Amino acid sequence: MELDELRNEMTRVLSSKRAKHALGCESEAEKLALRWGADPYKARQAAILHDITKERNREEQLKLCEKYSIMLGDVEKLEWPLLHALTAAEIARSVYHVSGDICEAVRYHTTGKENMTLLQKIIYLADFIEPTRTFRGVCKLRKLAYKNINEALLFAFDSSIKEVLNRGGILHPDTVNGRNWICTKGRD
């Protein structure tokens, strides 16, 4: 599916606020891909689709998980907003027929993981730093994302972990493992 078609579909199913976020993520993903040597077309596809199921409620998310045989861990069962990354990846694969690497980037855009591919890092960071984001530290993260992608990833993991802990949430093991991997092996 061409980018214009994906964009039209995304804007059809999402609110204008969420669509604006996804378009900002697309723009940022393209810039990051060009900066770090990834495929900008794939980065744009992943960014357009990363939140395609974000506005579905818990019951709809669970129905999609059942439909696509998505196995849920304990954290996803309790922190159900994380489900959108899993369901969006499956929708990207089955409905929009994008490649597996794009689906995996969509899948890990909220939690990250250890040993992330360049495309996964780009989508994770683009989601954090796109222009509508205003959290404390976003300006520093935007600069870092173009200076040292792994240091930016560590900063993003730390920010995400602090936010989850501050609201009394449960940390996803992929986020913790991703952070630890960057600290021990991935800072090159």
User: Is this model's pTM higher than 0.85 or not?
Assistant: yes
What are the distances in angstroms from CA 110 to CA 44, 113, 124, 149? Answer: 17, 9, 7, 17
The predicted structure's pLDDT at residue 188:
56
Helix, strand, coil percentages (3-state) for the chain, rounded to 5, are: 70, 0, 30
* Gap between the Cα atoms of 12 and 131, Å rounded: 21
* Gap between the Cα atoms of 123 and 184, Å rounded: 22
Tell me: the pLDDT tens digits for 109-125? Answer: 999 999 999 999 999 99
**DSSP-derived secondary structure letter, 14:** S
**DSSP-derived secondary structure letter, 82:** G
- In tens digits, the chain (188 residues) has pLDDT values of 799 999 999 999 999 999 999 999 999 999 999 999 999 999 999 999 999 999 999 999 999 999 999 999 999 999 999 999 999 999 999 999 999 999 999 999 999 999 999 999 999 999 999 999 999 999 999 999 999 999 999 999 999 999 999 999 999 999 999 999 999 986 65
The domains located in the chain, with CATH, are 3-133 (1.10.3210.10)
**DSSP-derived secondary structure letter, 113:** -
Phi, psi of 115 (to 5 degrees): 55, 50
